[in-house]
Each structure stands twice: as structure tokens, then as C-alpha cells.
Chains A and B, each alone.
Chain A
Amino acid sequence: MSAAGRHIVYIQFPYLAAARVRRRDGDSGQPVLITRQVGGVDMVVAGCARAAAFGLAAGMRLADARALCPRLVTDDFDAASDHADLWRLALWARRYSPLTAPGDTGIWLDIAGAEHLFGGTRALVADCLCRLYRSGLRAVAATAPTCGAAWALAHYGTGSQRFMTAPKSSGDSAGACVVRRAHLRQHLAPLPLMALRLAPGVAAKMHDTGLRAIGDIIGLPRAPLAARFGTDLLTRLDQALGDCDESFSPISPPTPLYVRRQFVEPIAAPEDVRRMVHILTDDIAALLQQAGLAARRIRLGWQLVDGLVFAKDVHLSRPGRDRALLHRLMAGLVTVIKPEFGIECGWMEALECSPLAPLDDDLPVLDGPNSKAACDAYAGLVDRLVARLGYGAVVQLAPRESWQPETAQSCVLPGPAHYENRSSDWSGWLAATASRPAAPRPIRLLAYPQQIEVTALLPDHPPARFVWYRKQHKILYATGPERIAPAWWQAPPGSLTRDYFCLYDQEGAGFWVYREGLPERDEMPRWYLHGFLA
């Protein structure tokens, strides 16, 4: 396509990041600011329409912004998310033209040859802005024959040079003009130099010498300009005016990792269903192999003859694409499928894909519980259990650093993060650390402590005997007390401090009991059994 044929639209989103924060956290009714630390100072880099109404603008210090408007919602600047958002918007904008791309603050569209499908350029842009508005995004757009000019007008244009967001796809924006090549200079001349996408320092330097608008430099000799402000300036000027070519590389949509089988005749026999799953699994495994990806989730879908659609997900505890593994997992699904009057078609989709985890190939082979073989076997077991019992039904215990026995372990969903330190921490659970002597812990902790009858000397002696389930235990050996106070910042009021003792009775059985309530604080002591010692 020649440069002359271009018809560029640039759509700029001034409040993109703030809109994302609102989508994520809900609208609190307060201005949203996006900030970034620059040399230890929080600087505002973007905001929302409300913030703009308060006079909060990019380039301010956050402290100043708070002084102006004490109630603010802030979030950290996140270039990756911004870019991801723009990428998705560019993808969406392919409804208007096959040539779209994310830019730095918005998206590019080249709509040459596509305008008439929407009733002309104005109607196209108006339709686009209206749809964006309905999804909660404010946008400003401009059209021009060159990329540079479209960007310049979208950011710095005035009045009818730009299309503003309108709630209706009516002719509101119709007043905005579609800049023609012949009028480019005339339109660009009054815009500030920043409109040329210059590095900030360059524009400031030119500002000093009185060169402030694009029009100021259009007629100037080029060599002195280049010598002072760099050749970039002239390139940008030429690009904007169309004297040199500039294009963006349009994105192509990602192809889903998706396989599908349509049957000539509906299938219903269990054997056929099994075969369908088998073929689809083969296909998806081959596809993953080809793409060099591994999936954490595989979705199996099927459609019945009456048009009903069903889907079922299988979760992997870590990204995988191994054919045998997938077969094993998917085989379990066959029983779930109820063909009724027959299945019209089936498909399989790989989700949450990532490049293949290094664990699969790169981990050095070790012996012991952390070796690759052990990990694989464990992962295989977990995955099969999950496939059988359902996602969320299988959990693992993980140690937590906490003095309170009840919270010293937690249930977690099995996942890849858990593998790397699955086994080593458990020995730490009982081991001594610098801050923690090896205080004994029971091998079995009762879910609920059970109250017991105790004979013990006050104030802090271990019991001499206690009764549990009507059986009397005479204590021959005891250690303690280990005093554990409630976690003061989260325990409910009224939580009491406990003194734990290790007791061994005449039969050599070990008990972990505690007394709740301190006699020295005039609290009524009560005794509980909390676990069994080895």
C-alpha cells in the first residue's frame, strides 16, 4: 500500500489505566490517580476524568495532588497492563479495519478502503467512540493521511480537529473534520512541538529559543535545526507532513489452541465417546507440542443433537502437554459425558498456556524426595486425584510460620509453586531455628481441643494426673510450660494465653495438653488435650 493511500485514525485513551482500576476495584466515587516513583517521590502519571476536574494532572507530585483532593484512589503505574489493554483494544478495533496496532497511548487504525462499510469516515469513528464509551472508556480520536499527523491531532488538536467521545452514535462528532493531505500543514502549524512525538527534553530546548509551534519550524533551514536538536526532529516533522513514509505493523490475532471434530452422524455409544475424547486429546497434545506451549487447563466441550452445549475443565497442577498424562486425565471425563440422543460435535481447548515450564526438562536429576522422578510421580498422583474428585476437592497441608498450633499449617490447592519446596519445609516445622528452639510439637493435633479433668499444683506445675474419656492417666514425666499468647492483632478479644505441657503417662503415651487462663492474672484455669506426642 502506498503512503498516499493511507487513511490513519489514532484513538487516544486519556484515562485508560484509571478505567482498569475502576473495573478491578469497583467505582468508589473518588478520583483515581496512577502514580510512579521517580527518585523516591510519587509522581502522578495519569488520572481519570474526575481527577482532571479537580485539577489533578500528570506531572504533579502525589503529595500535591492529595493536598488538592485528600480523598483519592491511587494505583501503581503498570506499563505491561497498559500495553495489554491497548493490545486488546487494537484487536477489538479489527472490526473496522484489518490494519490496527497498539500505540503508546492509544491505538492505530488504517481505515483506507474500509470507510464506506460504515457510512464514511465520520460515521466510522463516531461508531467506534460510541462503543468505547458504552464500555466505559473515554477516547479522543483524529484522522489524517499520516500517522504522525493523526497522533498530533489526537493529542493536541483543538475544536473540530478531533472526535470526542459521544454517548450516542449520532452526528455529534460529525462536526469534526477529516483532514486531507492538502490541508495538513495548515492543520499542524499551530500545534505545539510536543505534537511531533519528540523526546521531552528536545521540545523544552526548542521552547527556549522561541520555537514553540510546528509552524515555527516548517520554513526554517534544516541543517541548523538538525545540528541543534537532532535529526529525529526532522524525521518526525517529515513523517507528520507525509514527506517521508511511516507505517505501523498491524497485529494479527492470536490463534486459539483449539481442536474440533464434527461427526457425520451423531455418536452416542460409550465406545465412540471414548474414541472422540481420545482423538481430541491426541490433537490437542500435538497442537501444544507444535506451539511449544504447555497448558494448566484443558476444556472439553461437546454439543448434543438438540443444540445443548456442555463443557468440562480439567486442571493440571503444573503446566503440561505430555500425551500420556493428558490421556490419563481426559479418560476420567468420559463417564461425565451423557450423550442422550447423540453428540453432534466435540472440541478441546488448551487454556492458561505458558511456555513449557523448565521443571519438565531442566531440573537436575536428584535423589530423594525432591528428585524429578519423585516430583513427577507426586504430580501425577495429585492430577489424577484432582481429575477424579474435582478441582478444589484436593488440598495439601503447608506449614506456616505461626506460634499458634491451630494456624501453624494451612490447606492449599496443589499447584506448581508448591512443588519446589514441598518436602523440605516440613522438616522445618519441627526443627529448631535461631528464633525458635525445638519445642516439641505433636504428631497428631486434635481439630478441637478437648477439655480434661486435671490434678495439678498451682501456679504453673504440670499435671500429676488427668482424666480423659473416663480413663485416668498418671503422669510420670512432664516438660513445660511453653507459654503461647494469642496473636494480639488478630485474636478475638477475650482470647487467653495458654501454657502447653508435654506429658507422658505410665503406659509411655505422650500427650500435649494446655492450661488456658493464668492463675497469676486471676483467671480460672481450664485444661485441654490438644494432641498426641510420638
Chain B
Amino acid sequence: MAGNGMAGNGASDSAGPALLGCYSNFTFLTGASHPAEMVAAAAQAGWRAIGIADVNSLAGMVRAHMAARDHAIRLLVGVRLRPADGPDVIVHPCDRDGYEGLSALLSAANMRGTKAAPILHLADLARLPARTALLVMPPLHPDAAYQAHLQMITQFAKGQVFAGLCLYRDGADHLRCDAVVQIATATGVPVAAAADALYHHPSRRPLADVLACIRAKKQLDDAGYLLSRNAERHVIDHAEAVRRWQPWPAALAGADQLAGLCQFSMDDLCYDYPHAITSHGRNAMQELEFQTWRGAQNRYPDKIPDKVIAYLEHELRLIDKLHIAPYFLTVFDIVRFARGRGILCQGRGSAANSAVCYCLNITAVDPERAQPLFERFVSEARGEPPDIDVDFEHERREEVIQYIYDKYGRDHAGLAATVITYRRRSALREVASVFGLSRDVQAALAGEVWGREGSGLTAAALDAAGLDPDDRRLRLVLRLVDDISRFPRHLSQHVGGFVITRGRLDHLCPISPAAMPGRTVIEWDKDDLDALGLLKIDVLALGMLSCIRRAFDLLQGHYGRRLTLAAVPPEDAATYDMLCQGRSVGVFQVESRAQMAMLPRLQPRCFHDLVVQVAIVRPGPIQGDMVHPYLRRRAGLEKVDYPSADLRAVLERTLGVPLFQEQAMQIAIVGAGFSGAEADRLRRAMATFKKSGEISRFHDKMVKGMIARGYDAAFAERCFRQIEGFGTYGFPESHAASFALLVYVSAWIKCHYPDVFVCALLNAQPMGFYAPSQLIAEAKKSGVNILPVDVNHSDWDHRLEPDPLHATGRHSLRLGLRLVKGLRRHEGERIAASRAAMAADSRYQATSDSPRSAGKVAFTSLAAIIRLADISKAALQAIADADGFSSLGMTRRQALWAVRGLDQDRPLPLFAHAGRRHDSLAGDEPDVALPVASAGENVAEDYRSLGLSLKAHPLDLLAKPLAVAGWQRCGLVHQAPDGKRMRIAGLVTMRQRPGTASGTVFLTLEDGAATVNVIVWPRLTDSYRAPLLRAQIMGLVGRVQRQQAVTHVIAESLFNLNGFLRHLDAHAGTPAAVRMRSRDFR
């Protein structure tokens, strides 16, 4: 005893009292406090070091590390290994070596099993390096088995082994501790006190119990001994611990000794950039300079503008100083690979502030056109790597990801994790079932939570839901839901954040296999990586890039025009004209209703206007009330003035109204005297930690600072509120600029080549805001001829066909088989392929007596299709459903009848070649006269299979009965005077309830000729719930509201007119009812 005490005293000089064996909530559904809460509580309780160790995971360690730095307490990095065949062993690395070994051990266990269930055995502890400390946790009743395990571990583990002592106040503390001390003495192992704490404060005991119930899928009332007997497993006060451990003085001393051994800190992890790809013996910086200037020459073939040269020199100087050239080269390499494969890509976010990135082809925003702010991207003060996010075509991003894995190897490249946390709704569901609340009560609660994320449930709200607000269980549920929300629930993989290292990745952080084979995920999320200063490259997917690439391909194939993102003719007046009219269906970003309504008011005439347009319709500026002042100033209705001369420089480009994230930062610097680093912290608080309430700390500083500098208090408040709004929803200018370029390019294609645009857009589906039917209707308005799906003409994708009727050489759009519901891709592609093969095969040319179009060979019968394309009956049926057999002279119904009559699912190829007829029933079967489909039935069935009809708009077919019932056409709205009350009927194509609109619902109605935008105020939504949710055809009574060429109808009452669908199809209402889907609440 005395000897141990001596050792403890010696160590405690450097280590101080250490609290060991704490869980955090990164031991999912066990730990009941955030790592930061544990750390803060330990610091408060007088400990100088805390050992946090989660089960088989280091996922919470970075957060604990950050908190420990804030609270000036030492964090012992650790993991609680849970082998399948022995007691828990907490491992603390002593130095980086130990850490790497531990991380590698966990990685190996994860790779053998999964992240959720790693495969780990006691014998694996032998692989831990010597520079580790192992704390073997005791069972509740230490026995011979424990002694055997302890002996085993001592024999083969190279690190220092301790036996853990725990006090639970379960009546057996003395028995247990005495037994462990005895066993430890016999084994020759020192003992150390372990708190085994699940939570930071006794008040979290209920939460720990609820988590245990969720884990075991039990209800509280049935959980029995699963629940805790008392609230003792919290972070204990140091003085109290000293008192309680009095009978075993070696325990605390042992803990201090262990802490003294473990001097490893997360700060010791230093990151090395992967080896740069250089040529001709250049070092990374020289290579970067070389590539940059070469790129600059390609970008500006005539002469590099002086302005750009200045930017480049400035940036290169800074890059050299910060030694981050390898990072640029890594991204450059990835982008070069993508370009080589013809994959469109574009850097987004702050990278667009860099001229170097432009010259390296990473971004496409010409620094000559925009004014980049390199400091937003790379700042000397921050001393951390920049963040380059690159968007790739969504369909081909996988190629890029595989390239990264191939090039750097799975040992050096991994995806970042995403911590999935409890949201109020999911928390509510699980807590309520633990309490045994019935599904109906749960649903009532969930209904009230709907759209109230963040704010607590009030007594009135509960009352309204028919629940008793004084019910004790209910109140407990709601309190626990508050506690549990934002708790991590599991780790998932980040969409595309890559970590690439020079050394082995599994030495940096435990890795685990991802859901997709051949991928690895690390345990930390992007905030963690940021905090440690690790490099991350975001390889993101963007649907619009796929669309634009397709459009470029079509332009080259059909019009012979070669284009790239940067080569689209700039500042084209016709394009801006089109946008100013609000005709932006399908155009990137500005196609939403809010954007569309903004276009005619903003009247964009140059690229910078588009940047503003992209940034302004965001919750940040809207909540900060910046939109209307900007519009008034732009329209010349309000004088442009600046709060001060200093701020003039910041706000000049946006007419004195802050719209971009950078401006918010600069206001803080210039207006409130923040340092650059502080402003950056503010930005971070805005971007990531908003939820944790950190931002309110900045509130006083900013408002006081601004008032001190002579600004109006109201203005200061407004600025701060706006910054708050930017937190989650603001755009930095550079990001807006990247997006604006895609806006411009897509608008340009739409304006000049609507046929190409619609074809590319449809082939890139699903993406964007509109359903194919609306995109096609829009193309029709632009004069594009649309041809129906046909088995003899359509490919899988939509394609362009020369349009002989169109004088200007514009093409028709032939709808592709991909539109056909229920047709699988490989079968659709086989149809097109076998047609092509037939065309190449002369036999068919000779014997075929088929109807031909433009020299094409065609199928002549269903049997021929089955035989040649080798597709299933189900595929034929899908095409028949889509009325795709017109070229065979069959109506939809005849085709379906014939397909159903095929005698088996798929003929054997042998028989097929023997020439047996497969639509054979036709031969010996009497003719059957099927009822002829009416126009309405045809349209209804088109909608069912294709989601649209080229034959007619359903509302046009219903025009007469609707008119008889007194409903007006949508088109009349656009001729009606402001304020006129109207009764309109239309097909609902969209329903939206944006989070920023506090319950207002936006609807879009259309008929064959026009669309109408409808606003439903929240007070109506309850009484008109049913028509609002159910009506496919809606009747609307409301007033026309007209503002600067934007027309809305403000709803007064709504009616479900689905009954009129009977006029289309008398059997609507039977299981195969007419269904016209709208895009709802996306």
C-alpha cells in the first residue's frame, strides 16, 4: 500500500488528480452526457485530468479535446475496448506511438466486423504497443475468471496494466474492492480508481435509464434491473472521492500514476499532406507555380490581365508562406483526372475567391469578372488549410471517388463521418415508446412538433392536441426529449468529404468499412477535422453539372458547337431578357418560385446581378430584412447611403445592404472592431455551432462595439440579427458566384437552344424543382416539337431528332423510354440496342416489310421485339401502358391485350430462332373487340404511365363541365386587374411550405394554357386541410395580387374538385384511379 502511495505521489506532481473511466454519449445509447459536459463537470469538480473512453470508439474525442482546452483540464485520450471474451479494458495511449497502435487495433477490429459491431478479442490486446496504459475494469463480482483474465492481460500486453476499482454504492462496494485489491496484489498489478461515470450530473439518471430502454427496446415499466438503482454514476467531486476512497488509498494514487504515464494529447496529431505530384524535380511550390502560370496562359490566351497577375502573385506568396501548396496540387490532380475523363466539375464555396484555383481549372469564376477576396479562402491568421469543395456531375462522381482510392490507396484515403443526432421528432418517437405512450398519443405529439423544431411544446399546444399538459409522464417525456435531442445516435458517412494522408490513415483515426464495398470511413466528422486542422476535400455531386455536360454533348452532336463552362458567350443580352421576364423553369437555382418572383423585380442585367440574385433569395437576407431595401435602392426608389465611410467600402457593391457572408464578417471587423480572427470565429459560430448557443456570446460584443463606434443601436441589432440568419442559410459571395455561373450557363442554353436544354434536363432527372411534364410544357411554349414514346423510335434517354418542319434547324424532342413507369433500364437499353443492331444487319433490311421512318429499321411485331431485344413480358407491358406501340398500329388497349396473350414470360431462344410465332395466340384466337378508349381515358392513362400526356391537358378536356360549374380558366388570372376576386380551377402541380414562411403554403395550379401561383395564409391551412392535401384538381376562390409583373392569387377558400376526374374516366375511383401527382412539400 505504502509503495503504491509513493508512486502516486510522485506522479501526481505532473498529473494531478485524475478521474478515469468516463463514458460520453459517443458510446451510443449508454453515455448520457456530451463529451464537453463531462469535461466541464470534471474541471468544476476539482479534477486536473479526465479520462474519457467510449466503447470501441474515438468518435467523441475531438469534442472532448476542444472542451478540455477551454476548461484547462488535461484530457486522457482513451478507448474502452470491449472484447468478446473478457472484461472491458480501457486503453490510454502514452504518446503518439501508443495512439497509432490503438487506432490501428480498432481499425482492424472494425474492418473484421463493422463499425457498430467490431470483432475484438482479448488476444488482440497483444498488438497494442508498449507505450499504452491498460485499465482492466472489474466485473460486479470479481471472481476467478477475472483473475485469469487479469493474468492473461499482464502476460501478453506490452503496456502498463492497472486493475480498476469502482464504487457503485450497490451494497457490495467493500466486497468488490477488497476482492479486486486481493486479486491485483496476487497478480502484481497496481490498482486505480475508475469512476465508470455515465453522466456528468445525477440529474441525468433518468436519461441514462431511457437510453438503456431504447437500447434494449423495452418499456420503462418492464425494464426491471436494466434500469439504474441510483444516480451514483456521475462525475464525482474530487474531495468527496478522496473521502470515499479512504479505505483503499492506493486507488486514487494509481489513477494519478496512470495519468502521469499518459502524456498524449490530440494536439500531438500532426497532419502531413500527401506527397505532391511533381515533375522535373520541382518541389511542390515550384510545381504549383509552374502549373498556375501555365493554366493562366490557357485561360487568357491573348494576354494575362495585369489585375489577374497581381492576384496570382499575391496568392502564391501566401500559399508559399503557409506551406499549403501540396493541398492545391492534390485538388488540381483530382480535377485534372475528371477533366481528362470529360467529367464536368467546378469548385464551389470560398475556393472561387482564388485566382490560382481559376487558373488550375478548379473553379470557373473569372477573377477578372468578379472581385475575389482571397483572405476569405486562405487566411494567415487562421493558419489552417483552406477548404476546397468541388462539385462533380452527380452521375459520374463515383469515378472520381474510385480514382482517389486507387491513387492514394485505402490506407491513405477515407471518407469523413457524419454524426447523426437525435432530432426532436425522432427523439420524441423513441422516448414516447419507452414510456409506453400509445401510438395515437405519439402521433398527436409528433403532430404538434411538426414545424416547431427547436421550440418547446407549450401547454396550449398540448391542450390543442387533446393531451393533458399536467400529465406527469407527458411532462417527463417532453423534458427528456429536450435532453436527448442533439445526442449523437450513430455515425454515418459524409456525402463526399475525403481525408487523404501521407502516413497510414488508420494510424490517424480508427477507420471502418463503409456501407458501399471498397470504401472506408473515419470516425470524425467535418467539424472534428476542422478543429484538428486536418485536410478535407469535398467531392460533391451536382445534378446540374450532369445536365450541362449533356447539353454540351448535344450541342456538339447536333449543332456542331463546342462549349465549356468558361467558353459560353458572356453577358448575353437575350439570356438576361429571358431571365428578367421570370422565364426560368429548369434554370439552375433561380427556378424556384421565390427566385422566379424575384427575377422580374431584380432585373438582372450582368453577371454580378446574378450573384446577388442567387444570394438574396436565402433565409439569411430574408430574415435579416435586407431584400426590400436592396430592391428599393436598385429601383432607385430609395437613396443609397452608408452608415459610415468605413462601411461604404464594404457595402458599396450591394448598394449599402449586406447580402453576403463576407460582408457580415467585414461589418464586424470594420464596424464593431473585431479582429480578423474573431470575425472568423464569429463566422464559424454562425456556420456550425449556432445550435450550441455560442453565437449569443458575440451579441454583446458586436452591438456594444458598433454603438461605441457611433452606429445606431437599431442598425447594430439588425446587423447582428442578419448575421444570425446567415448562420445556417447565408451564402458567401464566392459561393454565390460559382453558382451564378451555372445559372448563367444553363439560362444561356435554355435561351438559345431550348430543345437541347429540355433534352439534357430530362435526361439528368431526377433533379431540380419541376416534374418532366412541366419541363416539357415549358419547352412546348418555346416552340420545341415533342414526339411521343414509341418502341420503334425511342431510346432509353430522351433524344433530339431533326425536325423537317422547323425552318431554323431546331430539333424535335423524342421522349425516351426512361419516362415509362415500370420499365427497367437494362431492358429499355436493349430495345434501342437491338434496333441499332438490326439496322446494321442486312438480312433485316432485305426481308423486313416494316414501316420505316427516315431509313430506320423497325420492329414489326411483339414477337420480333421479344426475340431480338430479349426483354420480358413485364417490360412490354410497361411500354404498352405508355402507349408506345403506335408504330405497330396498335392502340394502348390492343397492345396490352396482345401482351397479356403472350403465352409465356420469356420464350426460349432456341424456339424463338426456330421461327415460332410468339404472339401466337393471335393465330387461333377469335378477334376481340375491346372498348375504345375515350380521349379522357387516354390522357388519364398517359398520366398514369408517363406522368404527362402529349395528347391533351386534362384540364382542357374538363373545361366544359368545369365552366358549367362556374370555374374559370387559369389564363384569366393574368388578364385580371389587381384585387379582382376569381374562381379558378387547375391541376395542382406543386405544394410547398417553406421553413421561412411560418406555415404559409404555396401552390401552383395549371391548365393547358397557363399556370397560377397561389398563396394560402396559415390561418386557412387548418380549415382547408383536406383540399390542400388531397385535391389533384383544385378549385380556388381568391383575389388576384399583382406586384411588378409578378401575379399571385391569395386564396380565400379551396375546394377539392377531384370528382371532375370522373369526366375523364368514368371508372376513376376504382383501384386504378386517375392519378396526377404533384410535387409536394419537397
Contacts and interface: CB of A to CB of B under 8 A. Distances in A.
Contacts of A483: 169-170, 229-230, 232
B171 A68 contact: no
B141 A437 contact: yes
Contacts of B1026: 54-55, 68
Interface in A474-492: 479-485, 487-489
Interface in B863-904: 881, 892-893, 896-897, 900-901, 903
Interface stretch (A44-52, A206-214, A368-376): A206-214
A493 to B, nearest CB: 8
Interface stretch (B392-400, B675-683, B923-931): B923-931
Given A209-B893, A500-B171, A66 B224 contact: no
A228 B893 CA distance: 13
A441 to B, nearest CB: 10
Given A209-B900, A220-B928, A438-B141, A403 B1071 contact: no
A207 B1070 contact: yes
A376 to B, nearest CB: 31
Interface residues of B, number: 62
B225 A403 contact: yes
B225 A224 contact: no
B1029 A64 contact: yes
B435 interface: yes
A70 B1070 contact: no
A400 to B, nearest CB: 7
Given A66-B443, A228-B897, A403-B225, A485 B931 contact: no
A16 B356 CA distance: 74
A442 B727 CA distance: 61
A192 B1069 CA distance: 11
B893 A210 contact: yes
B690 to A, nearest CB: 30
B926 A224 contact: yes
B176 A55 contact: no
A24 B725 CA distance: 52
A208 B439 contact: no
Interface stretch (A79-87, A138-146, A428-436): A428-436
Interface string A249-283: 00000000000000000000000000000000000
B921 interface: yes
Given A203-B1071, A209-B897, A210-B893, A401 B435 contact: no
Nearest to A74: B440
Contact of A223 (B169, B205, B473, B925): B925
B476 interface: yes
A435 B220 contact: no
Contacts of A229: 900
Nearest to A481: B169
A72 B1070 contact: no
Contacts of A380: none
Nearest to B464: A70
Interface string A26-44: 0000000000000000000
Interface in B1064-1082: 1066-1067, 1070-1072
Interface residues of A, number: 62
A207 B1072 CA distance: 7
A440 B928 contact: no
A494 interface: no
A203 to B, nearest CB: 7
Interface in A483-534: 483-485, 487-489, 497, 499-500, 502, 520
Given A228-B901, A483-B232, A488 B1071 contact: no
Interface in A215-248: 216, 220-221, 223-224, 227-229
Given A209-B897, A216-B931, A489 B435 contact: yes
Contacts of A194: 1070-1071
A434 B1070 contact: no
A393 interface: no
Contacts of A432: 140-141
Nearest to A56: B1026
B439 A403 contact: no
A488 B209 contact: yes
B933 A210 contact: yes
A286 B589 CA distance: 85
Interface string B449-493: 000000000000000011000000100100000000000000000
A209 B899 CA distance: 10
A490 B1026 CA distance: 40
B307 interface: no
Given A68-B1029, A204-B1072, A489 B476 contact: yes
Contacts of A502: 171
B141 A482 contact: no
A200 B1070 CA distance: 11
Interface in A436-451: 436-440
A207 B466 CA distance: 44
A205 interface: yes
Nearest to A400: B224
Nearest to B212: A435
A70 B444 contact: yes
A402 interface: yes
Contacts of B224: 400-402
Interface in A343-385: none
A71 interface: yes
A227 B466 contact: no
A484 B1067 contact: no
Contacts of B606: none
B994 interface: no
Contact of B440 (A72, A211, A434): A72
A204 B900 CA distance: 13
A73 interface: yes
B87 interface: no
A67 interface: yes
A481 B171 contact: yes
Interface string B212-235: 000000001001111111111000
A76 to B, nearest CB: 9
Contacts of B230: 483-485, 497
Given A71-B466, A224-B901, A437-B172, A55 B931 contact: no
Contact of B928 (A224, A400, A402): A224
A405 to B, nearest CB: 11
Given A192-B1067, A223-B925, A439-B170, A67 B1025 contact: yes
B206 interface: yes
Nearest to B1071: A204
Contacts of B228: 485
Contacts of B140: 432, 434-437
Given A70-B447, A433-B225, A439-B172, 5 more contacts: A68-B1030, A207-B1071, A209-B897, A480-B171, A485-B230
10 contacts: A66-B443, A67-B1029, A68-B1030, A208-B892, A220-B928, A433-B225, A435-B225, A485-B231, A489-B473, A497-B230
Interface of A: 54-55, 59, 64, 66-74, 192, 194, 200, 203-205, 207-213, 216, 220-221, 223-224, 227-229, 400-403, 432-440, 479-485, 487-489, 497, 499-500, 502, 520
The 3 nearest A-B residue pairs measured at CB: A401-B224, A482-B171, A439-B171
